[in-house]
Amino acid sequence: MNNHQTRFGDVPLHIGGEAYPSASEQWIEVTDPADQSLLARVPKATSAEIELAVRTAHDAYLLWREVPASERARVMFNYQHLLKTHHDELAALLAQETGKNLADAKGDVWRGIEVVEQACAIASQTLGETMGNVARRVDGHSWVQPLGVCLGITPFNFPAMIPLWMFPLAVACGNGFVLKPSEQDPLTPMRLAELFAEAGAPKGILSVVHGGAEQVDALLAHPDIKAVSFVGSARVGGHVYRSATSQLKRAQCFVGAKNHMVIMPDANKAQVLSNLVGAGVGAAGQRCMAISVAVFVGSAREWIPELAAEFAKVKPGIWHDPEAAYGPLISPEAKVRVEGLIEAGIAEGAECLLDGRFCDVPGYPVGNWVGPTLFRGVTPEMRIYQEEIFGPVLACLEVASLDEALALINDNPYGNGTSIFTSCGAAARKFRHEVAVGQVGINVPIPVPLPFFSFTGWRGSFYGDLHAYGKQAVRFYTETKTVTERWFDEDIPSGPNMTIQLR
């Protein structure tokens, strides 16, 4: 296939600080989810190319680790400036390959920039500790040092934000980095890498390789890869975590989610309805922090018909349509899966108040469109409750008390995010104290933390020990060296030749 048959041509690798055309004979087609037109082709990197990418990152790391933290921070300052300068360009590119509307795409880029801003403060985040006289005439120190080469495996749904969760902090800590972005939308990550090189990052410190499961396994097995960051499905994340840890590598894997929002009867109804619509169908539900379960407590169940009316007003559309609330699903396969779960919900007895399976966007008849879908009468035994749908589908459950709502959430295998809407401080305190979920919102539907905190999914939503961005990411990408030192007084130079001896 010739490059002119695609909108963006063949996607190269990024090795040695520049585009590196792949010699692969295996290519993956990248299609526009709104009309199935061919955007680009992305290569499945060869074994030799993977070896070169890792070796180049490792060689760059050996020099980069000796660069003072303040100088590394200056690269990050340059990078965040370039990302801001190219913000709208990045958002437009991202919107075309993911289908996100422009506002959502801009948010994707901006949240990544916020993490880069945290990397600018790397000097203060990698300070060690010291104590004099830990024993007689003995001093103790701890130093924070980089690991080596780190690997990032990122998903399709946030092709700017999630790579920017990873490589800027890892590189600011002194590491080399290899990024394996999603093969479904590789254009945005490649542009991020180009801007990183333009910002003054040393050549080779960031490599980008493309491919599928074979390439991931080759990277995981490479002895120079010391730590692995992953965001994606529970199935793939489990494989990545087991493979990495069995080879004594560090791993942090952010996987599945089933996020509940609890609505108390004393909540502000207008705020509840508005926030549920955005949290339930925003980004077509293709985000790990989407609210996919609404738990109505007591008389709050009376608001469900009004919620259905608000859902019915939401219309998906093309990325540059200012009236579009969200875009298409990423692929035809994703559409088939989501529509199958909607069908299963109906078959299992849930009441489908709004069915998005027959959504039509004028001018784009073959897009991966699914309209907003709302169920009530859902029970925990149903597939639409048990499985992560990753589409614009909200399941409504009804319980009698806050205790029942808490039990429902805590019995679910996932623990990524949750929220409660209430005007009662005591109810809010009980909820945030007792819920077994890593990220909790109080009258905030999607409680994604700002980057000076850490992204902290629990239970079946996370495999590992240290979380993403913030202080925990700095700890993940570094290790501590403890030094105990003693000097003897009799070794102090003295006499007429002291000055010479001290030189």
Q: What is d(CA 477, CA 146) in angstroms, rounded to the nearest whole number? A: 6
Whether residue 394 is contained in a domain is answered as yes
CA atoms within 13 A on the CB side of 48: 6
Whether residue 304 is contained in a domain is answered as yes
Q: Do residues 447 and 101 touch, judged by C-beta distance below 8 A?
A: no
Q: Which two tokens stand for residue 49?
A: 């190319």
Secondary structure letter of residue 449 according to DSSP: P
Whether residue 228 is contained in a domain is answered as yes
Whether residue 397 is contained in a domain is answered as yes
Q: Are 285 and 371 within one domain?
A: yes
Determine the pLDDT at residue 454. Answer: 86
- Tell me how many domains the chain contains: 2
Whether residue 237 is contained in a domain is answered as yes
Q: Are 252 and 272 within one domain?
A: no
Q: Could you list the residue range(s) of the whole structural domain that residue 202 is in?
A: 13-256+457-484
Q: Are 273 and 209 within one domain?
A: no
Q: Are 234 and 263 within one domain?
A: no
Q: Are 104 and 165 within one domain?
A: yes
Q: Are 202 and 182 within one domain?
A: yes
Marked catalytic residue, from 173, 288, 352, 396: 288
Q: Which two tokens stand for residue 57?
A: 């990152």
Q: pTM for the complete prediction?
A: 0.93
Whether residue 496 is contained in a domain is answered as no
Whether residue 114 is contained in a domain is answered as yes
> Residue 458's CB: how many other CB atoms inside 10 A?
16
pLDDT averaged per 10 residues, the chain (length 503): 71 96 96 96 97 98 97 97 98 97 96 96 93 92 96 97 97 98 97 98 97 97 98 95 97 95 97 96 94 97 97 96 96 97 97 96 96 97 96 97 97 95 97 95 93 89 91 94 89 63 47
Q: Are 22 and 129 within one domain?
A: yes
304-309: long-range contacts at Cβ-Cβ below 8 A with a sequence spacing of 24 or more?
A: 304/353, 304/376, 304/396, 305/353, 306/269, 306/273, 307/273, 307/276, 307/277, 307/374, 307/396, 308/353, 308/354, 308/374
Q: Are 139 and 224 within one domain?
A: yes
Q: What is d(CA 255, CA 454) in angstroms, rounded to the nearest whole number? A: 16
Determine the pLDDT at residue 101. Answer: 96
CA atoms within 13 A on the CB side of 214: 7
Q: Are 246 and 286 within one domain?
A: no
Per the DSSP assignment, residues forming a β-bridge with 482 are 142
Q: Are 221 and 169 within one domain?
A: yes
Determine the pLDDT at residue 492. Answer: 73
Determine the pLDDT at residue 470. Answer: 87
Whether residue 3 is contained in a domain is answered as no
User: What crossing angle do the helices spanning 269-281 and 304-312 adopt, rounded to 10°?
Assistant: 50
CATH number of domain containing 331? 3.40.309.10
In terms of Cα–Cα distance, which of 298, 275, 280 is closest to 290? 280
CATH number of domain containing 232? 3.40.605.10
Q: Are 209 and 303 within one domain?
A: no
Report the first-to-last Cα separation within the chain, whole angstroms: 67
Q: Quickly list H helices, 120-181.
A: 122-125, 161-172
- What backbone phi and psi angles, to 5 degrees, belong to 331? -155, 160
Please confirm, yes or no, whether 288 is among the known catalytic residues: yes
Q: Quickly list H helices, 86-186.
A: 87-98, 102-119, 122-125, 161-172
Q: Do residues 185 and 124 touch, judged by C-beta distance below 8 A?
A: no
Q: Are 296 and 233 within one domain?
A: no
